[in-house]
C-alpha cells in the first residue's frame, strides 16, 4: 500500500484524537526515552491487511526498527508474531492503540471478504463491496476488500451510474408511464454514453424492461431464489452482468450461488466485519 498524503492526514488526526502528546502515565513514570523491544502478535487466525499503515503510525511517533516477514493478504494463525519492534518506550506506547485499531479493523474486513470469496470461488461469482463504509475510511476499507479477493463498486457518486430505488421512485412520479425503466436507461445512455450503468430492479416487470435496454449490470435487490431463477430463465442470451444484493449472508449466498449469477454486493463486509484481535507485548 502506498502511503499517500491523505493517509498521513488520517494518521495525524487519529493520533491527535488519542492525545499522544499527553500520555501522563508514560511521562510521569519517566520511561519515555527508554529503548525497548516489542512484538505485535495475532490473538486469532485471519488474513492480514493494513500492515503498511500500521508501520506508518509507529513512524509518525518516532524512530522505529521494524522487522516482519508478513505482508497484506497473507493468512496467519493464532499466536503468529506479525512484527518485531524496537524503539523508545514513548514511541511504541503512543502508537500502540491507534496502530492496533487500524490493523484489527482492516484485517477484519479482509478476513470476512475472503470468507465470502472462498464460498463462491468454484462458481466464479465476484464479491463486491458497497458505499456502506465508515466516513473518512472508505479508501482504506475498499482496499481491504480487494486484499481479501473482493471487488470494488464505485468509490463515490461520480463513479459508475447506479440507478437505485429512490431514483426510480422520483422519476416515476414525474414520468407517470409504465416504461419508466426503459426511459431512465435510455436517457442516461444518451447523456453519458461511456459510463457504466448499474440498474437496480425490484420485480419481474422491471426486469423485463431492463432486458429491453441492456444496461451494463442489472442488480436484483432483495429477490428470493425462486424469482431469481424465473428471471434468469427469461434471459435467452447473457447481455449484461447479473448482480444480487440485499441482506446477503452465508446461508442465502449458498442458496443462490448455483443459479447462474455473476456477482454479489455486500454492505456487511465493510459495515459489519468483526475485528481481528491483535496485541502488542513488551519483550
Task: Give the residue numbers annotated as catalytic, written as ranges.
Answer: 132
- Surface-to-core class of residue 138, CB atoms within 10 Å of its CB (0-12 exposed, 13-18 middle, 19+ buried): middle
Residue 35 cell numbers, joined: 529503548
CB distance 40 to 83 below 8 Å: yes
Strand locations in 99-257 (E): 126-128, 161-163, 197-201, 217-221, 241-245
Helices marked H in 79-150: 89-119, 138-147
Cα 4 to its chain centre, rounded Å, is 19
Separation between Cα atoms, residue 207 and residue 184, nearest integer Å = 13
Separation between Cα atoms, residue 242 and residue 238, nearest integer Å = 9
Q: Which of 93, 26, 28, 27 is nearest to 57 (CA)?
A: 93
- The SS3 call for residue 127 is strand
Amino acid at each position: 500500500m502506498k502511503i499517500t498524503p491523505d493517509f498521513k492526514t488520517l494518521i495525524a488526526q487519529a493520533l491527535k484524537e488519542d492525545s499522544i502528546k499527553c500520555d501522563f502515565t508514560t511521562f510521569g513514570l519517566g520511561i519515555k526515552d527508554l529503548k525497548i523491544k516489542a512484538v505485535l502478535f495475532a490473538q486469532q487466525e485471519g488474513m492480514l491487511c493494513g500492515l503498511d499503515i500500521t508501520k506508518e503510525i509507529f513512524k509518525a511517533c518516532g524512530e522505529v526498527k521494524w522487522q516482519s516477514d508478513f505482508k497484506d493478504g497473507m493468512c496467519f494463525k493464532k499466536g503468529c508474531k506479525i512484527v518485531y519492534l524496537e524503539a523508545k518506550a514513548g514511541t511504541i506506547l503512543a502508537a500502540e492503540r491507534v496502530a492496533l485499531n487500524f490493523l484489527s479493523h482492516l484485517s477484519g474486513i479482509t478476513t470476512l471478504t475472503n470468507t465470502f470469496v472462498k464460498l463462491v470461488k468454484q462458481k466464479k461469482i465476484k464479491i463486491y463491496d458497497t458505499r456502506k463504509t465508515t466516513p473518512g475510511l472508505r479508501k482504506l476499507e475498499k482496499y481491504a476488500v480487494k486484499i481479501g479477493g473482493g471487488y470494488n463498486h464505485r468509490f463515490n457518486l461520480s463513479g459508475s451510474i447506479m440507478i437505485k430505488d429512490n431514483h426510480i421512485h422520483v422519476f416515476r412520479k414525474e414520468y407517470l408511464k409504465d416504461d419508466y425503466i426503459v426511459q431512465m436507461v435510455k436517457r442516461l445512455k444518451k447523456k453519458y454514453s461511456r459510463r457504466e450503468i448499474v440498474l437496480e430492479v425490484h420485480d419481474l416487470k422491471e426486469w423485463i424492461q431492463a432486458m429491453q435496454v441492456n444496461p451494463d449490470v442489472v442488480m436484483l435487490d432483495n429477490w428470493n431464489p425462486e424469482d431469481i431463477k424465473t428471471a434468469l430463465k427469461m434471459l435467452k442470451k447473457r447481455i449484461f452482468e447479473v448482480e444480487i444484493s440485499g441482506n446477503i449472508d452465508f446461508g442465502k449466498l449458498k442458496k443462490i450461488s448455483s443459479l447462474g449469477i455473476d456477482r454479489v454486493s455486500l454492505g456487511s463486509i465493510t459495515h459489519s466485519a468483526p475485528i481481528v484481535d491483535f496485541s502488542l507485548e513488551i519483550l
